Chains A and B, each alone.
Chain A
Amino acid sequence: EIVMTQSPATLSVSPGERATLSCRASQSVSSNLAWYQQKPGQAPRLLIYGASTRATGIPARFSGSGSGTEFTLTISSLQSEDFAVYYCQQYNNWPTFGQGTKLEIK
């Protein structure tokens, strides 16, 4: 099983600032990585797949980068609706998720 580790567990950022979330795989997953956003009481929403391709309808302020074992999700200018929990997921092997990063308002 490929273990995905996200950091930090909680990130406090002010609206309008940039947020950088990290995800590390226990072995290479190539570019087979997705990012999801989950708000309280809602299902997860796909943001990024293929490590860097935005899903349909996702604003350009969301960007993904990385390959192999190190990945980053960047939100360039935080809006109020962006405060949520973010998960990474690898699909190079049996799908596995990171434990999540909670992005909270500073």
Chain B
Amino acid sequence: EVQLVESGGGLVQPGRSLRLSCAASGFTFDDYAMHWVRQAPGKGLEWVSGISWNSGSIGYADSVKGRFTISRDNAKNSLYLQMNSLRAEDTALYYCAKGDSSSWYEDSWFDPWGQGTLVTVSS
């Protein structure tokens, strides 16, 4: 069974940093692109970032470009999101999701999703 388990969320002050992790199991991790998708409280879904199987290609939403960095460690079956210069509008549940191809920009539908980790940016 494919499983994605996020961790690292919490309450953080504006301008500070946080690093999210996603532990993957049940599939060959380094065969697939991985993504982060977020959902602000009571709101819809927003794609944040995607990374290809070998980290050779990465994409970001304009809203996080220059502040967030996605990475992966295939030896550890893990995905990460380093979030710097956090803002109140970054408050959301952050989901880790598996893509359906090795490239983040191809066949980039998301299946499955983890249960999410909540990030709250507030002073």
Instruction: Say yes or no: A97 contacts B112, CB within 8 Å.
Output: no
Contact with A along B41-54 (1 / 0, CB 8 A): 00011110010000
Instruction: Say yes or no: A89 contacts B44, CB within 8 Å.
Output: no
- Please report which residues of chain B, range 24-56, place their CB below 8 angstroms from some CB of chain A when the two chains form the complex: 35, 44-47, 50
Beyond A94-B59, A94-B61, is A46–B111 a contact (Cβ under 8 Å)? yes
Q: How far is the CB of B9 from the nearest CB of chain A, in Å?
A: 14
Is A67 on the interface with B (CB-CB < 8 A)? no
Is B108 on the interface with A (CB-CB < 8 A)? yes
Instruction: Say yes or no: B115 contacts A97, CB within 8 Å.
Output: no
Contact with B along A90-104 (1 / 0, CB 8 A): 010011111110000
Number of A interface residues in the complex (CB < 8 A): 20
| Interface of B (DSSP majority class) | loop
Give how many A-B residue pairs fall within 8 Å (CB-CB).
53
Classify chain B's interface size: 20 to 34
Q: In the complex, which residue of chain B has the Cβ closest to the Cβ of A85?
A: B44
Is B95 on the interface with A (CB-CB < 8 A)? yes
Instruction: Say yes or no: B59 contacts A46, CB within 8 Å.
Output: no
Of A34, A42, A87, the residue contacting B44 (CB under 8 A) is A87
**B residues apposed to A, CB below 8 Å:** 35, 44-47, 50, 59, 61-62, 95, 100, 105, 107-116
**A residues apposed to B, CB below 8 Å:** 1, 34, 36, 42-46, 49, 55, 87, 89, 91, 94-100
Q: Can you list 7 A-B pairs with a CB-CB distance of less than 8 A?
A: A45-B112, A45-B113, A46-B110, A55-B111, A95-B47, A99-B44, A100-B45
